[in-house]
Amino acid sequence: MRDTSVLNWPFFEARHRALAAKLDAWAADNLGGIDRRDTDAACRKLEAKLGEGGWLQLTAPGEGNERLDVRSLALVRETLASHDGLADFAFAMQGLGAGPISLYGNEAQRAAWLPRTRAGKAIAAFALTEPASGSDVANISTSARRDGAHFVLDGEKTWISNGGIADVYVVFARSGEAPGARGLSAFIVEAGNPGLAIAERIPVIAPHPLARLRFENCRVPADAMVGKPGEGFKVAMATLDVFRTTVGAAALGFARRAMVETAKRAATRELSGAPMADLQMVQGHLADMALDIDAAALLVYRAAWTKDQGVARVSREAAMAKLYATEAAQRVIDTAVQLHGGDGVRSGHPVEMLYREIRALRIYEGASDVQKIIIARAILSELSGANA
Ligand SMILES: Cc1cc2nc3c(=O)[nH]c(=O)nc-3n(C[C@H](O)[C@H](O)[C@H](O)COP(=O)(O)OP(=O)(O)OC[C@H]3O[C@@H](n4cnc5c(N)ncnc54)[C@H](O)[C@@H]3O)c2cc1C
């Protein structure tokens, strides 16, 4: 049994406890039996199932929820990740992909897309990274040139989750209002746009739909811009400010699953004539894992709760949550693999799958090194403000 004592912490309300319990039961009943051999088809199916189950309602405000509730998003990701990495991915990408529209879109944009992404009837993607600028976001070079009632996009995006299966891409491009970060804007680009091509599908260690996109003379109406001209960087960062914490929550879900698998193994495996769990060195590993998990949970739900209190930006808290939870989950899962012996590296074993699932979380939505820079800059600016 996964440890759910976190739900009794003061970060949560009764509705969160009810949500987590209901989703746990739903996931146990609904996520098995999906054929994973075709990742694209599996993802589409998961998106539809999550939509039918009503879970995607949480990924964008409206229809009862007036704003994104980060604690709910984080609890859903933790729970889904502990059951199924691809289901967590499908949920998360609807939120991240539609995030710029739900946070900055105008009424027409929100009405056009959010009811469909919330129902799992349209798949969303967030296209920021480029071949020459991943961590260095302010340096992106995909251009958006105004041409009468249109903008014309040219350039490449890469590592785009849901690339190839998405119906709608939010694309960040250089519109040139100012140099660097202040010269970017965000645009809605529909999958059928003739100027958008899937240049490459990218296979990764834990299969997810990913692609490199090419924009060639890609014309979008001027009203496809999300937010104001030159606000693209702000739109991207505000979206990440919400969803980065939830990457930590997914890592937490993976780590909790590793803990469950390891505790089962330690209780049932005999070593030198006694249960493995009796060995003190094994107990030491279990204690380290539990400590990492609880510390990660505290940081994740501190960041989620803080954002839900109406604080405009939680960059420091979100960066701490993502950094600590993803690094901790990697340690926890590595220990789980070790304590499973040969079975830990057997293809298809739950801990082998977790070992592959966790790795990318330390890289995307800002690598661990980048989170350290965000934290350090926030501390330095707080200190210089205090000393001024
Ligand atoms: C599975 C997966 C899914 C993704 N999904 C999306 C998506 O949906 N949309 C999207 O736009 N992007 C997506 N990405 C891209 C992801 O955000 C980038 O890969 C990430 O930001 C790192 O950029 P990069 O790969 O260009 O690495 P680089 O920028 O070349 O960085 C390489 C490494 O250098 C280190 N580093 C970087 N900057 C610094 C620094 N200032 N100081 C010290 N060390 C540093 C870090 O360890 C980093 O991992 C995804 C990536 C992966 C792997």
Query: Residue 64's pLDDT is what?
Result: 63
Give Dmax over CA atoms of the chain in angstroms. 79
Query: Residue 63's pLDDT is what?
Result: 64
Sign for the CA dihedral angle at 242, 107, 220, 124 comes to: positive
Taking the centre of ligand 1 as the mean of its atom positions, its distance from the CA of residue 364, in whole angstroms, is: 5
Give tens-digit pLDDT for 332-358. 999 999 999 999 999 999 999 999 999
Query: Residue 182's pLDDT is what?
Result: 95
Residue of minimum CA distance from atom 30 in ligand 1: 134
Give tens-digit pLDDT for 271-304. 989 999 999 999 999 999 999 999 999 999 999 9
Give tens-digit pLDDT for 204-227. 999 999 999 999 999 999 999 999
Query: Residue 301's pLDDT is what?
Result: 98
Query: Residue 34's pLDDT is what?
Result: 87
Taking the centre of ligand 1 as the mean of its atom positions, its distance from the CA of residue 98, in whole angstroms, is: 20
Measured in whole angstroms, the distance separating CA 302 from the mean position of its chain's CA atoms is 17
Taking the centre of ligand 1 as the mean of its atom positions, its distance from the CA of residue 373, in whole angstroms, is: 14
Give tens-digit pLDDT for 357-374. 999 999 999 999 999 999
Confidence of residue 382 (pLDDT cuts 50, 70, 90): confident
Give tens-digit pLDDT for 187-199. 999 999 999 999 9
Contact of 210 with 161, CB cutoff 8 Å: yes
Measure CA of the first residue to CA of the last residue in the chain; give whole Å.
Answer: 51
* Helix ranges restricted to H, 105-231: 107-119
Residues 126-132: what's their mean pLDDT? 98
DSSP state of 66: -
Ligand 1 binding pocket (C-beta < 6 A) is 126-129, 134-135, 159-161, 204, 210, 360, 363-367, 369-370, 373
Out of 48-57, 305-314, 316-325, least confident range = 305-314
Mutation to probe ligand 1, out of 208, 363, 368, 374 (largest number of atoms < 8 A from CB): 363
Mutation to probe ligand 1, out of 39, 86, 128, 129 (largest number of atoms < 8 A from CB): 129
Question: Of 84, 325, 300, whose CA–CA distance to 208 is shortest?
Answer: 84
Is the pLDDT at 153 greater than 90? The verdict is: yes
Nearest ligand 1 atom to alpha carbon 97: 8
Confidence of residue 250 (pLDDT cuts 50, 70, 90): very high
Q: Which residue has the higher pLDDT, 312 or 202?
A: 202
Nearest ligand 1 atom to alpha carbon 132: 26
Provide the annotated active-site residues. Answer: 365
Determine if residue 9 is left, alpha or beta; phi over 0 gives left, psi from -120 to 50 gives alpha, anything else beta: beta
Question: How many residues does the structure list for the chain?
Answer: 388
Query: Residue 102's pLDDT is what?
Result: 95
Is the pLDDT at 388 greater than 70? The verdict is: no
Give tens-digit pLDDT for 58-102. 999 876 667 899 999 999 999 999 999 999 999 999 999 999 999
Give tens-digit pLDDT for 25-53. 999 999 988 888 999 999 999 999 999 99
Query: Residue 66's pLDDT is what?
Result: 75
Query: Residue 1's pLDDT is what?
Result: 76
Residue of minimum CA distance from atom 26 in ligand 1: 134
Taking the centre of ligand 1 as the mean of its atom positions, its distance from the CA of residue 360, in whole angstroms, is: 9
Taking the centre of ligand 1 as the mean of its atom positions, its distance from the CA of residue 62, in whole angstroms, is: 32
Residue 286 CB-density burial (10 A; 0-12 exposed, 13-18 middle, 19+ buried): middle
Residue of minimum CA distance from atom 31 in ligand 1: 135
Q: How far apart (Å, rounded) are the C-alpha atoms in residues 371 and 79?
A: 24
